[in-house]
């Protein structure tokens, strides 16, 4: 099998872990994730790589180079959003292993060491925190964070890591030594429509939008829906509805700067038809490439929030999750990738990434490159996520 064929085969095998009639269910640090990890570890061993799992449960497959030159790392993640697709993240891990197998077939002892990494929990779906593994190895995750972030069932990130053999007490120990690495490469589907619609096969990412995320807890008064007159209500859900629209409006007003704002979670309590809702939880995700624009969106939401509190007699508490800064990818690597595209006649464009990726944390320590390939109609975080494999080949080869 060629490396490209191996890549496809591995993506197909991993995507069976957690497959349902309605997309993939493979949240981080669950049984489905464990099965996916086992398949990848098997593949690493088959390629003769030494495999180690670090304190944050990231998996590192490595083959040693012939000299002591800084090594090259490739990778991405295996966890998925609920009802997600087959390619988000998995492609970057599988392609890393495909590339290693191609290189080893040509030269069993390359000059630089080659590593492939599976980062833990890139998706924020389980712990409301994204890029957990790549934050950890770049010194951006503390033991306190692993106690603070919990899943829906109240399981802390700390306990989830322990149950997978992780050692969150030793996060510091497993931070990467930048001098040991030459570069990090992540191949990822674009998750937007630009490449699919333009017919270009490669996107060279120049910068990654960063998320500002927080939870809003709106507390009104739970009362009888038949007995309580309209003018005496403090309905938490209608207050939430105003905020959801305010988030959308605030994002829309900054769209010329590429900012976006979304409420992706709305939990209403007690959730009965004959009860005026007393408590609603919203989770808000604001992103952009221009930091000032992200701040303006945030401030607009907060100012509406204060007004809604007064107008509707509800209390609104904000819990921050993250306020990351947009990240530039390495300019020199981008130019070299561009050179390779030109040499090979690959149609490419330079572009930003609206979605978050482990490359944004790796970039804080190691020169990093994110290479996009097209996915059908740009649909992602959706069971319908799909690719035309022949359109992935140029990006893989680059
Ligand atoms: C990762 O998928 C993200 O939410 O950007
Ligand atoms: Mn994703
Ligand atoms: Mn991803």
pLDDT along the chain (398 residues), means of 10: 97 98 97 98 98 98 94 98 98 98 96 98 97 98 98 98 98 97 98 97 96 98 98 98 98 97 98 98 97 97 98 98 95 98 98 97 98 98 98 98
- Give the residue whose CA is nearest to atom 1 of ligand 1: 356
Ligand 1 centroid from CA 378, angstroms = 14
Ligand 1 atom with the smallest distance to the CA of 287 is 5
Ligand 1 atom with the smallest distance to the CA of 122 is 1
7 within 8 A of 94, measured Cβ to Cβ = yes
Ligand 3 centroid from CA 133, angstroms = 13
Q: Which residues pair with 73 in a beta bridge?
A: 115, 184
- Which residues have any ligand 1 atom within 6 Å of their CB? 123, 130, 355-356
3-state secondary structure of 259: coil
Ligand 3 centroid from CA 254, angstroms = 25
Residue whose C-alpha is closest to residue 373's, from 349, 392, 347: 392
Q: Phi/psi of residue 274, each to 5°?
A: -105, 25
Predicted pLDDT of residue 28: 98
Concatenate the DSSP letters of all residues of 191-208 into one string.
SSSHHHHH--SEEEEEEE
């Amino acid at each position: 099998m060629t490396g490209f064929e191996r890549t496809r085969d591995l993506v197909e095998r991993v995507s069976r872990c957690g497959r349902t009639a309605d997309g993939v269910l493979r949240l981080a640090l669950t049984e489905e994730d464990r099965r996916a990890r086992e398949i990848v570890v098997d593949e690493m061993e088959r390629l003769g790589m030494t495999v180690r799992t670090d304190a944050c449960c990231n998996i590192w497959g490595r083959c040693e180079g012939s000299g002591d030159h800084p090594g090259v790392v490739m990778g991405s993640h295996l966890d998925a959003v609920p009802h997600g697709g087959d390619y988000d993240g998995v492609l970057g891990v599988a392609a890393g292993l495909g590339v290693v197998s191609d290189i080893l077939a040509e030269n069993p002892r390359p000059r630089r060491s080659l590593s492939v990494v599976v980062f833990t929990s890139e998706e924020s779906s389980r712990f409301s925190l994204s890029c957990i593994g790549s934050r950890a190895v770049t010194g951006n995750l503390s033991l306190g964070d692993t106690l603070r972030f919990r899943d829906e069932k109240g399981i802390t990130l700390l306990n989830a890591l322990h149950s997978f053999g992780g050692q969150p007490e030793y996060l510091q120990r497993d931070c990467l030594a930048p001098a040991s690495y030459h570069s990090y490469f992540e191949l990822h589907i674009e998750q937007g429509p630009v490449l699919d619609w333009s017919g270009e096969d490669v996107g060279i990412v120049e910068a990654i939008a960063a998320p500002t995320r927080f939870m809003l807890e709106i507390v009104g008064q739970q009362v009888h829906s038949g007995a309580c007159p309209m003018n005496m209500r403090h309905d938490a859900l209608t207050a939430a509805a105003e905020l959801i629209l305010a988030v959308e409006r605030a994002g829309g007003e900054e769209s010329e700067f590429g900012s976006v704002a979304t409420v992706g979670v709305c939990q209403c309590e007690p959730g009965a038809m004959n009860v005026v809702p007393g408590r609603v939880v919203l989770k808000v995700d604001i992103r952009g490439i221009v930091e000032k624009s992200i701040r303006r969106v945030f401030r607009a939401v907060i100012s509406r929030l204060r007004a809604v509190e007064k107008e509707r007699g509800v209390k609104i508490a904000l819990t921050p999750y993250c306020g990351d800064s947009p990240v530039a990818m390495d300019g020199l690597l981008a130019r070299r990738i561009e050179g390779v595209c030109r040499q090979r006649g690959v149609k490419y464009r330079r572009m930003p990434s609206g979605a978050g990726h482990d490359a944004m944390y790796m970039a804080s320590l190691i020169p990093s490159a994110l290479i996009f390939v097209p996915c059908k109609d740009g649909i992602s975080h959706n069971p319908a996520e799909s690719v035309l494999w022949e359109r992935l080949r140029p990006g893989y080869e680059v």
